[in-house]
Chain A
């Protein structure tokens, strides 16, 4: 069975600092990887996705993620965060057509001034 592990449940950072949110997945076959963001009292919004090709994926709001097959990781990064980036971030994996996304437990990013 595949699973997704988000290594940090909470990440506090100061505004304009860089941030990395870590995600590891377990699967012996090809997977498709996603990062979602959830702002308070809202649904989930797609940040970016890795399907194939370049291992560095750029998303919305200045976020990017790097797919590393040998380490089965898909870490999310931003070089300089803003207060408005405070939210919960979820990593997800999908392996087969017609199946559901499997989510990690989430990482709460708290940006302070």
Chain B
């Protein structure tokens, strides 16, 4: 079974802190993604990566950065957390081919106070 593991289920951080969300997949997938999920807005793409050290901005990259130093690991970084970044963050991975689905982690619920 494909497994996508996010390092934390719940996080509480203070405004202005630098926050790292970590994601690891164990199926040698080329693509990895970070989405943000908010009620009524669905899943919005923050960043994705199609190879090590490669990244592409999604629909809402402002206030976020990412790092992919190894194929299996994709990190989302909030440089200076703000209360409007309180949300559910979902990591996913997939093979490169277009006719493949994405596999999701359990999500990290981040609260910024």
Residues of A within 8 A of B (CB): 6, 9, 32, 34, 36, 42-46, 49, 51-52, 90, 94-106
Contact with B42, one of A49, A90, A98, A99 (Cβ below 8 angstroms): A90
Which residues on the A side are within 8 Å of B40 (C-beta)? 9, 105
Which residues on the B side are within 8 Å of A51 (C-beta)? 99
A42-B106, A44-B90, A44-B104 known; A96 and B45 CB under 8 Å? no
A97 to B100, CA, bound (A): 9
A-B contact list, 25 entries, CB within 8 Å: A9-B40, A32-B98, A36-B104, A42-B106, A43-B4, A43-B90, A43-B104, A43-B107, A44-B104, A46-B103, A49-B101, A90-B42, A90-B43, A96-B98, A97-B96, A98-B30, A98-B31, A98-B96, A100-B31, A100-B45, A100-B102, A101-B33, A101-B101, A102-B45, A105-B42
A32 to B102, CA, bound (A): 12
Kindly state whether residue B84 has any CB partner on chain A within 8 Å.
Answer: no
Closest chain A residue to B42 by CB distance? Answer: A105
Closest chain B residue to A46 by CB distance? Answer: B101
Q: Does the CB pair A104–B45 fall under 8 Å?
A: no
Determine how close the nearest CB of chain B comes to the CB of A91; give it in whole angstroms. Answer: 9
Determine how close the nearest CB of chain B comes to the CB of A110; give it in whole angstroms. Answer: 15
Closest chain B residue to A51 by CB distance? Answer: B99
